[in-house]
Every structure is written in C-alpha cells, then in structure tokens.
Amino acid sequence: MTAPQLPASLISTLPGRYYSDAQIFDQEQDRLFHPYWWGFTHLSDLDAPGKYRTAQVGKENVIVVRGHDGALRAFLNVCRHRGTRLCPEEYGEVKRNFRCSYHSWTYGLDGKLVTAPHIAKMPDIDPVEWGLKQVHVREYLGYAWVCLAEEPPSFEDTVIRTVTERFADETAIDNWAIPDLKVGRRISYEVKANWKIVIENFMECYHCASIHPEFVGVVTEYAKGYAAQHYVGRGISFGEDAEAFTLDGTGGFGKLPDVTEEQDRKYWGVTINPQVFINLVPDHVIFHRMFPVAVDRTIVECDWLYAKDVPDSGAALDHSVELFHRINQQDFEACERCQVNMKSRVYEPGGVLVPHEHHIGSAFHDWFTKAFGEP
C-alpha cells in the first residue's frame, strides 16, 4: 500500500514503523533522548544534602543528588567497579557517601571515589578518573533537568526559549512563580503507547470534545477543537460559568498572586521536546515528564503544583487534582487504542493531521525528523 496522494487539508504523520519498530526506538534513545535536556524531578525531592532521586533516561539510569555544598549533581547510577546499580531505590537519602552494596566502593556526593576495600593496594587509581560518570544538570522552574550528552545543547536556546516563545512576553511565565510552588500530588502512569503518540495527543485539542467532557465543560473554548499552543501569547478561556480549573468548575484556590487579570481564567499549555508538558491555570500548574521505556511503553509522571500555603493549610486537593487526572486517563486510553494499530497496512505511510492539528507537523514532526535523521 503506497502513501495516498493527500488532499491539501491533510498532512501526514510519521510512518507507522516509527511508532512500532523496536530498532527505531533504540536509535531514538541514542539520537533523541541522550542529546537533549530532560525534565527529571522536582527540586523538593532534593531539598537537603544527600537527598537523591533516580530515574531511567533513555538507556541510562541516572542519580541526581544534592551535595553538602548545596550544589546539584547528576551521575550514571553505575558503580565503576563491577557495574552494580548504586542506588536501587527511586528515592533516598544518604549521609555523606554512596556506598555500593556489592563490594563497598564508596563515592562522595561529588562523585569522587572516596574509598574501597584494600584501596591502599591500588595506589594508581585516581579518585576522579574512577569516580561516578557525571551527567549535566540544571535547575529551572523548580525542576532538575539532566542531559546525557558530553556537550549538551544550550539550555537557554532549547528549554528556556521553548517556554518563553510560547508567551508574547518573555517574563509572562514568571507570574506563576513556578519555582516557589509545592508538589501537592504526584501520580505516575504506565501508558502502553509510543512516547510520540503521547506528545501528538498532548499537542492537539481536536480530540477534546470527544473524550474530555469535564475539560471542555470548564475550558469551553476548547470545545471548538483548537489547540492554542501555536498561537503565541494565547491562552484558552474558561467558560463563563467556570470559576476554577476543577472537575466541575467550582471550588478552586483563587489565583496565584502574580498571575495577571489577562492571564486569569485561562488554560495555557507548553510542550518541551522530547518529554515535558507544562499546563498553567490560575491557581496551579500541572507538570508532566515522560520516561519512555520501550517502543510501546511510556511512564508518565505528573505533578500538581500549588502555592505553598495551599497544601500546607491542609486544603483538600482531590477536587482540583481530579480534573487533569481524568484528562490523563482519557488521553492515555486513546493513545493505547492507537498503538495497537501502528503495524497495520493502513498506517504504513502514517496517519493524517487535519488543519486543527497541522502545527504538530511543524512543531514536533519537523523537529523529530531533523534531530533523528534516517532510521
């Protein structure tokens, strides 16, 4: 089946094998996941010396840890001796060092090899050369970001520019004061779909009227199907009856102090390739990070961020959290229903994007094709 000649209304997605071929996923890990900045975890997981978090980034398991000097550092989670996973847990805290459970090689929070049994008999082992393999790390928007590349791309030209370009005004996002917010809830989803299907889903709202009744009940403008991501500076308005971004439009937490009137009562979404989604509403922020683990399986970790005093006051968050939790469930089920057909002859040349979705081509597929190259 050859690719049909497409009418002008339609442009093609990537061919089906890009969503279903394990070998292409393997290439993506080297060409797309390792060379880009990666939203890793919220800084509150790392808010004291020795606190660490681990997660899978492409082919590597990574540790991010707060040092006694207050600096954040990231390392491959691999003992240099015999390859043991140094920190097998996702979250943890050590006093001064990482001690490998197998042979007790011990590394400082700066990655240096501090000691090992009988190290005195190995005087030629340089503690830095034989320290943990360091990975680049940055702090931004309250999150630790890592990059596995030896020479990462400019954080300013990639991550920060993507965020600021979304708004007409470069400082617009500062009004949410995201670094000051607190994680009120974290939910991790296992999605049986390729990560690119999850991105495509997030980038368009042509599906919103079909699968998100609660969402379009609040953000009524979305019932029209337009995704506003590609309109610079444009948020999507709540309905007249909606007081807040909650399941039924009632009972939110007002608005964050610096969010302007113009920003209020709107929803704003940002996609940072390849794996972060940020959702801004007046009283909170929903922050997604994807961790693709197989061609057809993606872990999505989603944080709900609130002004510190909201969770601190013991306010019930369920009603607020539930709206995007349902959106997530509805989206991921849709993604899974697509994944099962990615090897069909119908999808061999790819699916199609309607005008409401054409920006996926320019903002994601073009980026992908340029970064990935040929399989």
Among 28, 200, 283, 301, interactor with its own copies by CB under 8 A: 200
231 near its own copies, rule: CB under 8 A: no
Nearer to its own copies, 65 or 281 (CB): 65
d(CA 375, CA 366): 15
Taking the complex as a whole, how short is the minimal distance between the CB of residue 121 and its own copies, in angstroms?
A: 6
Let me know: does 305 contact 277? Beta carbons within 8 Å: no
Q: Which residues contact 312 (CB under 8 A, 6 or more apart)?
A: 182
294 near its own copies, rule: CB under 8 A: no
Per-position x/- string for 306-335, each x denoting binding to its own copies as judged by CB under 8 A, each - no binding: ----------------------------x-
Taking the complex as a whole, how short is the minimal distance between the CB of residue 338 and its own copies, in angstroms?
A: 5
Nearer to its own copies, 19 or 176 (CB): 19
Q: Which residues contact 271 (CB under 8 A, 6 or more apart)?
A: 162, 199, 202, 203, 229, 277, 363, 364
Among 347, 359, 364, 368, interactor with its own copies by CB under 8 A: 347
Stretch that binds its own copies, among 64-72, 137-145, 151-159, 207-215 (CB under 8 A): 207-215
Exposure string for 47-75, b = 16+ CB within 10 A, e = fewer: eebbbbbbbebbebbbbbbbeeeeebbbb
Torsion angle of C-alpha atoms 361, 279, 176, 364, degrees rounded to 10: -20
Nearer to its own copies, 34 or 185 (CB): 34
How far is residue 24 from each of residues 35, 292, 296, measured CA to CA in Å? 16, 13, 12
Among 80, 266, 284, 365, interactor with its own copies by CB under 8 A: 80
Chain-centre distance for alpha carbon 114: 34
Taking the complex as a whole, how short is the minimal distance between the CB of residue 368 and its own copies, in angstroms?
A: 16
In the region spanning residues 60 to 79, those forming contacts with its own copies, defined by CB under 8 A, are: 60-61, 76-79
Nearer to its own copies, 8 or 316 (CB): 8
Among 154, 260, 344, 369, interactor with its own copies by CB under 8 A: 344
Nearer to its own copies, 88 or 254 (CB): 88
Exposure string for 289-302, b = 16+ CB within 10 A, e = fewer: bbbbeebbbbbbbb
17 near its own copies, rule: CB under 8 A: no
Per-position x/- string for 124-163, each x denoting binding to its own copies as judged by CB under 8 A, each - no binding: xxx--x---x------------------------------
* Contacts made by residues 328-331, CB under 8 angstroms, sequence distance 24+: 328/187, 328/189, 328/300, 328/302, 329/189, 330/211, 330/212, 331/198, 331/201, 331/202, 331/211, 331/212
Would the CA dihedral through 118, 120, 125, 126 be positive or negative? positive
Let me know: does 212 contact 329? Beta carbons within 8 Å: no
Per-position x/- string for 84-123, each x denoting binding to its own copies as judged by CB under 8 A, each - no binding: xx--x-----------xxxxx-----------xxx--xxx
Among 341, 367, 369, 373, interactor with its own copies by CB under 8 A: 341
CA atoms within 13 A on the CB side of 297: 4
Nearer to its own copies, 77 or 229 (CB): 77
352 near its own copies, rule: CB under 8 A: yes
Taking the complex as a whole, how short is the minimal distance between the CB of residue 20 and its own copies, in angstroms?
A: 10
Among 3, 23, 71, 82, interactor with its own copies by CB under 8 A: 82
The residues that touch its own copies, with contacts defined as CB under 8 A, are: 4, 7-10, 13, 16, 59-61, 76-85, 88, 100-104, 116-118, 121-126, 129, 133, 200, 206-207, 209-211, 225, 334, 337-338, 340-347, 351-352, 354-356
